[in-house]
Amino acid sequence: MTENGPKILLKSMGVFSADLINQILLLLLILTVCAILYNKVHKVPSALKNEAVDLESPQEMEEEIPVVICAAAGRMGATVAAISSIYSNTEANVLFYIVGLKNTIPHIRRWIENSKLNEIKFKTVEFNPMVLKGKIRQDASRPELLQPLNFVRFYLPLLIQKHEKVIYLDDDVIVQGDIQELYDTKLAPGHAAAFSDDCDLPSTHEIVRSVGMQNTYMGFLDYRKQAIRDLGISPSTCSFNPGVIVANMTEWKKQRLTKQLEKWMQRNVEENLYSSTLGGGVATSPMLIVFHGKHSTINPMWHIRHLGWSPDTRYSEHFLQEAKLLHWNGRYKPWDYPSVHTDLWENWFIPDPSGKFKLTRPDS
């Protein structure tokens, strides 16, 4: 081999090596392009795949509607009827928070799990009555109003942690409309809750007058007391009913409303500022004070009340059919006797599988 031989061989090897690398790179480029084309032709884009999943299981992306309702001893049939009416009249993704005392929760859980309500989404929440110690003034005229679960609504942010917006319902209601509509109630900026005003529906005024139901602050607060006069609230101001609430948990916590409610409960213990002999509820009065001028309103058809104030006075059937929510507030409950419009309530009642809860009827 000549002296130039190794140089020529090395040069040839360099050319060969460069050509090989170029060919490999070209091959890789072709494979990459093919892979991209294959994905475009044979695979669904990721965004569409997500849409397809959503179409197959829409509830996965739906907003949960949390509904808080209590299960009190002796009236769990009310809780079941309310839940049944809500569940049967909506396609929304409802999550029920059923609040009870330690000894009542097992009963309501078995009732639901062993009935046609076993498909609902629900959580049970134990309420500790010790939080009320020293905050409730004993009142013998209507002792049932002093039951601990009547004050659950004061503590919503402590019981329900993960939701921005919550619906609270008394147990003596049935819902005839789609609960989504109630949940969509708009709350004004800075308002932590929406209620129904007691003067808002002319169709109910005759009922209110006939049963002697109070619908102003004068009917709930004792204006002979200086602490009440110092509030600067006119006694003729229209009251509201806190048996149906749409609440904003962020605003509630920001304004420390639970602490404010507890303050007025404690003041009532010391000064007797309100009582159940006035407006018929010791849980309403603190809310009237704390939320005065700072609440939004619920569509009045979403809270037709006073059905429990008289065993005789009735609404027209047409009016009741148009109503979205019926509330038997007062002494005369639809699971007891006497009461009015019990047929509307019984449409949603589900018998207790254990047989412990029974309806009271004239022939029973």
Contacts 24+ apart (CB under 8 A), 324-327: 324/175, 324/176, 324/177, 324/181, 324/182, 324/299, 325/173, 325/174, 325/175, 325/176, 325/177, 325/182, 325/244, 325/301, 326/173, 326/174, 326/176, 327/170, 327/172, 327/173, 327/241, 327/243, 327/244, 327/303
Q: Which pLDDT tens digits describe the chain residue by residue (364 residues)?
A: 444 444 433 344 444 456 666 677 666 667 665 665 555 444 333 322 233 233 334 444 469 999 999 999 999 999 999 999 999 999 999 999 999 999 999 999 999 999 999 999 999 999 999 999 999 877 645 666 678 999 999 999 999 989 999 999 999 999 999 999 999 999 999 999 999 998 876 566 666 565 556 788 988 999 999 999 999 999 999 999 999 999 999 999 999 999 999 999 999 999 999 865 555 568 999 999 999 999 999 999 999 988 998 898 888 999 999 999 999 998 899 999 999 999 999 999 999 999 999 999 998 6
Q: Which two tokens stand for residue 189?
A: 């900026």
Buried b (16+ CB within 10 A) or exposed e, 271-287: eebbbbebbbbbbbbbb
Residue type, 53: V
Separation CA 250–CA 248 (nearest Å): 6
pLDDT at 235: 93
CA–CA dist 63, 37 (Å, integer): 38
Q: Quote the pLDDT of residue 313.
A: 81
Name residue, tokens 């569409």.
48
Query: At 148, which amino acid appears?
Result: P
Q: What is the pTM of this model?
A: 0.81
- What is the DSSP code (8-state) at residue 103? T
Taking the C-alpha atoms of residue 1 and residue 4, their distance in angstroms, rounded to an integer, is 8
Q: Which of the 8 DSSP states describes residue 68?
A: E
For domain 65-203+211-347, the CATH architecture is Alpha-Beta Complex (3.90)
Q: Within the chain, how many helices (H) and strands (E) appear?
A: 13, 9
pLDDT of residue 338: 96
Give the Cα separation of 92 and 150 in Å (integer): 27
